[in-house]
Amino acid sequence: MSIPVTLIPGDGIGPSITEATIRLLEAAGADIEWDRQLAGTAAVHAVNDPLPAATLESIRRTKVALKGPLETAVGKGFRSINVALRKAFDLYANVRPAKSVLPGLRFDGVDIVLVRENTEGLYIGVENYVKIGTDEHAAAQSVAVVTRFGAERIHRYAFEYAIAHGRKKVTIVHKANILKYSQGLFLEEGRRIAAEFAGRVQVEERIVDACAMELVMRPERYDVIVATNLFGDILSDLTSGLVGGLGLTPGANIGNDAAIFEAVHGTAPDIAGKGIANPTAVMLAACQMLDHLGQGTLAEQIKFAVEGVLRARQIVTGDLGGSATTEQYTDAVIARL
């Protein structure tokens, strides 16, 4: 039976890289029934709403979406549609794998999965200015909230992910030496959950600044990393950089009732419509999606073909130093399946 999946092609290069990905999945034999829905600028043009109810309804039904990058319309509406989607479905775990595949980079042997808490921390949007005397903006404050509930579920997700994917170690990243309450609670919950997995997954703790340094000196020693929202945001771009940049990095946003898979890069307005965008990140996001849907073997086959083309580095797109179009690159990956 075909698996229903919501497809949001997105804006800018989104439609071309998602179409390339669908072509690859079909060639690989994935049996998916795509329910195409709009969001972002495409949706504003069509129905004057950046996040139409029909799109939310579709994700509620299928519980799984593959999404191209979205341009947040300047002016009115949501601050970010991506954040609105995360909130609507309580997508608490952001999972960003970064693996060395391209030859000739500064690092090789990197194979890190960063699990970022996606709903709490400093990103809850509770901020205000403090007026002193006549200065309305004399001070500003931002509130970071860590709950036991939120910390527990992200640590549990990271450890369960490690077991399910044959990973050996989870590194808990924190700043509990300074932020003793919010980061302290995150670490306390991490230690408690780690104890449940003792003997099955190794655990280590790293203060975020030391972790950042070690990631650019000895990245190969890291396996799974779990961090709060802000630290995870920063470190996940760092790990993307270690393996060749955002064009190669997929991201999964996972909740209990839905999951959304996407490339982490944006709509690339400078190259939109030229047929030269790199579809790798969406292709790898689709592999994460297949894995999530219990089709791990198919996901591995597709990933193997993508990695083969990248390793050869002959038919690659302009951002990777090649001259292939999106279509030529996709053909090369399909030929490797």
Binding site for ligand NAD (CB under 6 A): 13, 17, 69-72, 82, 246-247, 262, 265-271, 277-278, 319
> What is the helix (H) or strand (E) element at residue 49, kind and residue range?
none
Question: Burial code of 1-13, b = ≥16 C-beta within 10 A, e = fewer?
Answer: eebebbbbbbbbb
Q: Which residue is nearest to ligand NAD (CB)?
A: 266
Which candidate, 79, 85, 41, places its Cα nearest to that of 59?
A: 85
Residue 22 vs 271, nearer CB to ligand NAD: 271
Residue 62 vs 249, nearer CB to ligand NAD: 249
Q: Three-state SS for 278?
A: coil
Q: Judge whether 303 counts as a catalytic residue.
A: no
H-assigned helices in the chain: 14-28, 41-47, 53-62, 81-88, 148-164, 182-196, 208-217, 229-242, 280-292, 296-312, 326-336
Minimal distance, residue 318 CB to ligand NAD, in Å: 7
Q: Contact, 300 vs 267, CB < 8 A? A: no
Minimal distance, residue 232 CB to ligand NAD, in Å: 15
Q: Judge whether 209 counts as a catalytic residue.
A: yes
Catalytic entry in 175, 223, 303, 331: 175
Residue 49 vs 214, nearer CB to ligand NAD: 49
CB atoms within 10 A of CB 307: 18
Q: Judge whether 329 counts as a catalytic residue.
A: no
Q: Judge whether 175 counts as a catalytic residue.
A: yes
Supply the DSSP string of 2-39, one letter for each residue: PEEEEEE--STTHHHHHHHHHHHHHHHT--EEEEE---
Catalytic entry in 92, 123, 161, 222: 123
CB atoms within 10 A of CB 229: 22
Minimal distance, residue 316 CB to ligand NAD, in Å: 10
Residue 34 vs 329, nearer CB to ligand NAD: 329
Minimal distance, residue 162 CB to ligand NAD, in Å: 26
Place of tokens 């949007």: 125
Residue 17 vs 286, nearer CB to ligand NAD: 17
Minimal distance, residue 262 CB to ligand NAD, in Å: 5
Catalytic (active-site) positions? 123, 175, 209, 233
